[in-house]
Every structure is written in structure tokens, then in C-alpha cells.
Structure 1
Amino acid sequence: MDGLIVGNRLLEAKQYELALDAFTRAAADQGMTGEIYAGIGAANLGLGRLGQAEKQLRKAIEFDNAAPETWNNLGMVLLDTGKLPEAIEILRRAFALSNGENDEIRDNLRLALAMQSETVYDPEIEKELDLVRSGQSLYRLRQMEP
């Protein structure tokens, strides 16, 4: 079976280490494609390896056919690492690439814009936010349950 398909299925099952292995095998067979970079980036994001995820997702968006979800994931990494202005621009691009049809990307963009309009840092608000996986390789911020 194709390593890319296996990797994506493992991402859906939240088996991020195994997904990394599958994407590595796919890269050995197919070379490093945008989809493989995106998969490796999503797996690293799932593992909380934000620095590695950012590098891989940046490489993935260099390809012309980068999916809106890849742009979204990069935006969420940037948001989580405090790079708010760039995160907003990346999320705007993700929203445009999805033709405004992806509710989760729209919600992430709204959240980033709301964070930008905040004039005072409130650590209590930050404590209430959590990065969660929603759908196939798509991440978003949500308020944590008390």
C-alpha cells in the first residue's frame, strides 16, 4: 500500500510516530513531495514538535498544489508560537484557497483576528485555549472545558 495513504490514515488515527515512519517510507519511494512534507509536518504538529512542524509545513507550501489544510496547519503553528501577524496572513491564504468553504479554517482565522485585536495580554485566556485535531490533518484552537 502507498506510504502516503498509510501515513494519512495513521494521522487520522492519531498514530503520529507511525505516520512519520510511513511518510518517510513514502519519501524513499516517491521523493519529497508537497504532500509528504505536509504529512510529516502534520505528524510533528500532532506530536507537539512545533519547530519541526513549522519547517516541514513551510516546505510543503512552497509547492503550487499545497492544500488549504496545509496552510491552516502552518497558521496554527505560527499562532501557537506567538507569530501572530504572520499566522493571520497564512490563515487568510488558507481561507482564500478553500474558497471560504471550510468552517474550521474560517474559525481559526476569526480567532487569530480576535487575538490581534486584544490590547492587553491575559494569561487566563491563553490557559483556556487548546490546539486540537479536527478532521484529516486539520488543526484548530478551541476553548478548553473547565
Structure 2
Amino acid sequence: MRVRWGPTLLVVTMLAACEPSTPSFDEGAGPFPPTGDVSREASVDGLIVGHRLMAAGQYELALKAYFRAAGEQGINVDVLSALGSANLKLGRLGQSEDLLRRAIKEDQTFVPAWNNLGVVLMERGKTGEASRVFKTAFALDSGKSDEIRENLRRALAKIENPAYSEEKEDGAFDLVRRGNGRYLILQAP
């Protein structure tokens, strides 16, 4: 019997080429994912994310983003005011008032905290104190914000005529600082 080595050798070579090979890894690599620089510089600021979520009506998620910002930046006037604003939108008026008062203690010239505190006080029926707070916000803002002026007008009208009532949907405004002196005006839902 005569064996033909040509075709047999060809089949063996082809089968050897089909054999699975071990993947080549870079030196020092293992079965775990590669490590990289996980610095905070690449992440988006929690305050910015929170402000965007507030504008989208996602107040619970905004609150979480503000807590993340507190973890990254510490508790400062921006974070306190943002947390107070989110709690205001969620109807947690007591928590909102406490946070906004802390923000004002931190920086007595921070206009958004003064305005938002006025909104909380109006919601809680403390119209007299709210009008004083709105007057402070208006003075600190040098009368530049139409929304603060409108909030002050509503508070004074409510004092003059306790039966005064406007539709809530057209009424309250929040003022949330976005940074670099820019403000984001949010109308209450």
C-alpha cells in the first residue's frame, strides 16, 4: 500500500492552522480590565448636572447630583442653595428652609439663596418675612432681576390684601445660581 504524503501533509497543516491559539496580552496584563487614570477632572461638575436635571424637572436626580457635588467640593454656599432649591421643588419646605438659611449664613450676599428662601417662606404662609427676604434679594441684585421684582411685588400684594391670590402656575419663581454670576430661572410647576 502506497501512502500519498502530499494530501495528508496538507490536511495536517490546515488542521494545525485551525487550532485555537492563546491571545497575546501586553506585558503585565492579566484577566482584569486595564487600569487607567480615574481622576475627578474628567467628570462633569455635580452642580452643572444638577442644574440641568432641575431644568428637566428631574428633582430627585438633581438632589443626588447636588449631593455628589457636596462630596466633591464640600458644603459651600452654591451646594447649600442648590440642595435647598431641589428640596423646594420636591415640596420639602422645612428642609429647604434650613438649607437656604445655612447658605445665607455662609454668604450673606448670595442672591439666589435669598430669593429661594423668600419663595419657601411664601409657600409656608410667612408672607411678612418673605417680603423682607425678597427686599434683601432685590437690593443685593441691584434690581436687575425681573423675577425677583415680581416675587417681591406678589409678597407685598399679599401683605396689603391677605385675600390676594394668583394662580400658582403663573406665580412662584426659583432662582438657582449656575456659576460665574449666571443664574438659571426656573418657574414652579
Q: Distance in 2 between matches of 1:129 and 1:38?
A: 22
**TM-score scaled by length of structure 1:** 0.82
Q: What amino acid is the match of 1:39?
A: A
Structure 1 position 134, deviation (Å):
6.0
Q: Given the superposition, is the C-alpha separation of residues 84 and 77 from structure 1 closer, same or farther in structure 2, using an over 3 Å criterion? A: same
Q: Verify: 1:50 aligned to 2:99, yes or no.
A: no
Q: Distance in 2 between matches of 1:110 and 1:140?
A: 16
Structure 1 position 128, deviation (Å):
3.4
Q: Distance in 1 between matches of 2:128 and 2:88?
A: 20
Q: Distance in 1 between matches of 2:101 and 2:54?
A: 19
Q: Distance in 2 between matches of 1:78 and 1:40?
A: 16
Q: Deviations over 1:75-110 (max 9, x none)?
A: 011011011111111000110111101001001101
Q: Verify: 1:62 aligned to 2:101, yes or no.
A: no
Structure 1 position 67, deviation (Å):
3.1
In structure 1, stretches of 5+ residues that fail to align are 142-146
Q: Verify: 1:98 aligned to 2:141, yes or no.
A: yes
Q: Distance in 1 between matches of 2:66 and 2:102?
A: 15
Structure 1 position 138, deviation (Å):
4.2
Quote the residue 1:29 is aligned against: 72
Q: Given the superposition, is the C-alpha separation of residues 93 and 6 from structure 1 closer, same or farther in structure 2, using an over 3 Å criterion? A: same
Q: Distance in 2 between matches of 1:50 and 1:93?
A: 20
Instruction: State whether residues 132 and 139 of structure 1, in contact with CA within 8 Å, keep that contact through their aligned partners in structure 2.
Output: no
Greater fraction helix: 1
Structure 1 position 127, deviation (Å):
7.2
Larger radius of gyration: 2
Instruction: State whether residues 158 and 165 of structure 2, in contact with CA within 8 Å, keep that contact through their aligned partners in structure 1.
Output: no
Aligned to 1:82, what secondary structure does the other structure show?
coil
Q: Given the superposition, is the C-alpha separation of residues 64 and 135 from structure 1 closer, same or farther in structure 2, using an over 3 Å criterion? A: closer
Q: How many residues align structurally?
A: 137
Instruction: State whether residues 81 and 113 of structure 2, in contact with CA within 8 Å, keep that contact through their aligned partners in structure 1.
Output: yes
Structure 1 vs Structure 2 CA RMSD = 2.2
Q: 1:76 aligns with which of 103, 116, 119?
A: 119
Q: Distance in 1 between matches of 2:104 and 2:174?
A: 20
Q: Verify: 1:14 aligned to 2:53, yes or no.
A: no
Instruction: State whether residues 34 and 66 of structure 1, in contact with CA within 8 Å, keep that contact through their aligned partners in structure 2.
Output: no
Q: Given the superposition, is the C-alpha separation of residues 6 and 44 from structure 1 closer, same or farther in structure 2, using an over 3 Å criterion? A: same
Structure 1 position 64, deviation (Å):
2.1
Answer 1 or 2: higher relative contact order, Cα 8 Å, separation at least 6: 1
Comparing 85-94 and 66-75, the one that deviates more:
66-75
Which runs of at least 4 in structure 1 moved beyond 6 Å after TM superposition? none
Q: 1:114 aligns with which of 145, 150, 157?
A: 157
Quote the residue 1:128 is aligned against: 167
**Percentage identity across aligned positions?**
47
Aligned to 1:61, what secondary structure does the other structure show?
helix
Aligned to 2:142, what secondary structure does the other structure show?
coil
